[in-house]
Chains A and B, each alone.
Chain A
Amino acid sequence: MELIQALRVQGRVVSALTLRETRSRYGNSKLGFFWALFEPFAHIAVFMAIFSAMGRAIPIGDSMGVFILTGIAPWLLFSNIVTGIMGGVDGNRALLGYPQVMPIDTMISRILLETATIIIIFIFFVVLAINFDFTISLDDFLMMLSASGMIIVLAAGVGMINASIKLYFPSYATIYSALSRPFYFMSGIFFTADFLSPEILDLIDFNPILHIVEWLRSGFYTSFNSAFYDIEYVGTVTLVIFTLGLVAERATRKRARQI
């Protein structure tokens, strides 16, 4: 009974926080939604421009834009959740004055908001592509869902670990953003794994995001089934990082409230 009661309270807190975050970002001006659309659009546009200048062929399907979308969407899902979680406590500092609002609630609400944003934007661009007569037939929806779920859990783990480190070293946020930058080029946003030489692939195949992007694309495209991604590997890495994240959050909870 006590557990049910506690879950009910947490449910109320998370939904109230999610509502408030959504309102703050999208309620007060149209700029918020415009930015949410513009961010992936900018990435896609830049790569399309570079590749058409290089005369590179579209790796899968008939649209370069859609190909990059299927890479940039999981990437943004990952990086926006991580930065969202890292800023969750600071962005809701005053609301932690309510005893039932826990630091982890701010993190959960940001995961929900970032996920909903990316899903809506993904659908928006897919519908746009269909309107431009590109062929899109979702191959395996469940597979896309599993891959997306995996990257959300992975991001939650990384985000919680980062948020805990940031409590002790505030400048860590800058360090993390520098550390994570190379991953942008190693995550298959604008290439597929079989496009790389075995030597290079050997160097970057530890990157779970690359596996997840390949996995997601295998679900998205009928004509593409990657032999590269390894669900067992990604699952293990994700589970370890997520568990570490939960432990870190738990260990730093008191401090998060006090600062």
Chain B
Amino acid sequence: MIKLQNVCKSYKLKDSKKTILDNISFEFPEKKNIGVLGVNGAGKSTLLRLIAGTEFPDSGKIIRTGKYSWPLGFSGSFHGTLTGIENLRFACRIYNANIKEVTEFVKDFSELGKFIHEPIQTYSSGMRSRLAFALSMAIDFDVYLVDEIMGVGDQGFQEKCKDAFTAKRKYSSVIMVSHSMNTIRDFSDVAILLTGEHLEIHEDVDKAIDIYTKLTHG
């Protein structure tokens, strides 16, 4: 369960304030895959970080139950000077996962080859997201928070991601932010539209995409 209660969040810019959430109360539907749509700067990634708990609201409350992944994104939670394996071990330790099992899974899934022993700062963004994705699949979460990294890599890898999620569907769900409407269509049961003033939930994903497209084109 994720429940926002009177949540406010804004960022200070040089001489103005950018409000992202203004006194929002909202309950996310449970056990549904949710696609988050919104124009650039509407605060999609911030919303994901608030849900994950890596950022705090300025005021208000966020109530969560269950096990959530860290926000899986390009910038990532990976430490640049540590190798892929070292980052993986760190994540295993803090999530209390079996290092050996996770390592085997990630080596196989990420297709990083010997790059897994290189520092993360030498990785391309595609490699980073492959590692992040594989690692998160190896650890069991109730909800996966995905920030844009779906739909990276070649066709083969994308298929693999899709299969992995389908396999997990029974126990886990996903909340994702993406600019690719195809990805949103493929993965989401419902869509949430961030308009800058409020959150709108749409049971009909295609309709939400229509509204979003109109917003961005005019």
Contact = CB atoms under 8 A, between A and B. Distances in A.
Interface of A: 9, 12-13, 15-16, 19-20, 23-24, 92, 94-101, 253-254, 257-258
Contact of B86 (A9, A15, A23, A97): A23
A95 B80 CA distance: 10
A94 B54 contact: no
B17 to A, nearest CB: 14
Interface of B: 52-56, 68, 70-71, 75-82, 86, 90-91, 93-94, 96
A98 B54 contact: yes
Q: Is the interface of B mostly helix, strand, loop or mixed?
A: loop
Nearest to A15: B93
A99 B54 contact: yes
20 contacts: A12-B93, A15-B93, A16-B90, A16-B94, A24-B81, A94-B75, A94-B77, A95-B79, A96-B54, A97-B70, A97-B76, A98-B70, A98-B77, A99-B52, A99-B53, A99-B70, A100-B94, A257-B54, A257-B56, A258-B55
A247 B56 CA distance: 18
B77 A20 contact: no
A252 to B, nearest CB: 12
Contacts of B79: 20, 92, 94-95
Contacts of A15: 93
Contact of B82 (A24, A98, A101, A257): A24
Contacts of A23: 86
Contacts of A12: 93-94, 96
Contacts of A254: 55-56
Nearest to B96: A12
Nearest to A95: B79
Nearest to A27: B86
Nearest to B64: A99
Given A19-B93, A23-B86, 19 more contacts: A12-B94, A16-B90, A16-B93, A20-B82, A20-B90, A24-B81, A24-B82, A94-B75, A94-B78, A95-B90, A97-B54, A97-B70, A98-B77, A99-B70, A100-B94, A253-B56, A257-B54, A257-B55, A258-B55
B90 A99 contact: no
Nearest to A23: B86
Contacts of A92: 79
A253 B55 CA distance: 10
A99 B71 CA distance: 9
A95 B77 contact: yes
Contacts of A96: 54, 77
A101 B56 contact: no
Contacts of A94: 75-80
Nearest to A20: B90
A53 B25 CA distance: 75
A81 to B, nearest CB: 22
A54 B55 CA distance: 59
B51 to A, nearest CB: 9
Contacts of A98: 54, 70, 77, 91, 94
Interface centre among B68, B78, B90, B96 (most CB of A within 10 A): B90
Nearest to B52: A99
B81 A97 contact: no
A15 B90 CA distance: 10
